[in-house]
Amino acid sequence: MHRHPEIDPQSLAETDEQHELRSILRDFFTDASGPEAVRKHLATPRGFDETLWARLAGEIGVHGLAIPEEYGGSGFTFAELAVALEESGRALYCAPLLPTVVLAAQALLDSGDRQACARHLPGIADGTLTATVAGFDDAEIDISAQHGASGWVLRGASHFVLDGAGADLMVVRAQTPDGPRLFACEPTADTCVRTPHRVLDETRRQARVEFRGAPATPVGESGDVTATLDAGRAALAAEQIGGSGHALDATVEFVAQRQQFGRPVGSFQAVKHRLADVLVALEAARSASSYATVCVATASPQMPVAASAAAAVCSETFRLATAEYVQLHGGIGFTWEHPAHLYVRRARSAEVLFGTADQNRARLAQLVGLAPRSAA
């Protein structure tokens, strides 16, 4: 593996189109998905505003940004989708963008199965289909696929499936007699038992999914999901950059207005130092996220390295930014009613989705030859 980046530095800069998309999305989320709206929709059966989901797909076309035109998308790249993910993270948007638009869609595209893509991707692109993946990050696959007279069926279970209780489609990695393979499953109540987990971050629902002879259709020929998980790491990093940016901006605004001893709290040197630390960490994380985004968009061989680096750096930055969000808001920051707690929960939950920071560092060390590769 080459030790030096092979990415054109110009590709890391935001294009005019991406800047315009960011402006549109920031205004959109500011108007329609503030903290109170998020809290309101967490109490609904699906946990998010389904009307807003349809608008995001129909009016702005976010869902189809990285989906080819032949499958109903816009034919842009992961770089444009990352802009949308960053803005959704900034607003703490609670709909299942990550499992649907990134993980499931990317898994279908990576499979190279044109028939499966033609069947499912148009629904993802137009917002009429929510989807997720199961069995992708399990060290040992606990789902098996058996081929019977009427076709393939799935048996087994997977825990902590993103949007597992509500997704219309599941792309499942299951064990077959010939090794792991991907399957598309449209779950029904009689063959698929979905039990919501009680999780720290209620804005990102997860569930245990048990397959009891659920009919499934093979997708592609391979069970390798490495590229899909790396796209997920890059996508999550973009989200974390958005959340960190919100936390820093909200804190700077507060300490500039809050008075103590006859002067703004933000004028005290100790406060300035703490905010400067967050800013430095955020800029470093933004660089890591941008590099990972471009690697995914260009299918660079550096993608595994970039994705793990971004996962480690952005997770820790989000944790730092949200901790200061609470601390520097003083007494009000410690109340459950303050939006800071929603961001803290998202930060702590997100940092274990695709491996902890330490696990991603260990993987990174293996990828660059600083540690022996695991047997797996």
Which whole number is the average pLDDT over 319-329? Answer: 96
Q: What is the pLDDT of residue 214?
A: 96
pLDDT at 11: 74
Q: What is the mean pLDDT of residues 348-372?
A: 92
pLDDT single digits (tens) 84-135: 999 999 999 999 999 999 999 999 999 999 999 999 999 999 999 999 999 9
Q: What is the pLDDT of residue 137?
A: 80
- CA–CA separation, 152 vs 145, rounded Å? 6
Least confident of 36-45, 89-98, 178-187, 312-321: 36-45
227-275 pLDDT per residue, tens = 999 999 999 999 999 999 999 999 999 999 887 888 888 889 999 999 9
**pLDDT given for residue 150 in this prediction:** 87
- At residue 1 the predicted structure's pLDDT band, cuts being 50, 70 and 90, is very low
* Least confident range of 31-40, 150-159, 320-329: 31-40
> What pLDDT does residue 95 have?
96
CB atoms within 10 A of CB 55: 15
Average pLDDT, the chain: 93
Of 87-96, 139-148, 182-191, the one with minimum mean pLDDT is: 139-148
**pLDDT average, residue stretch 66-88:** 97
pTM of the predicted model, to two decimals? 0.94
What per-residue confidence (pLDDT) applies to 376?
A: 42
The pLDDT value given to residue 266:
84
Q: What is the mean pLDDT of residues 275-300?
A: 97
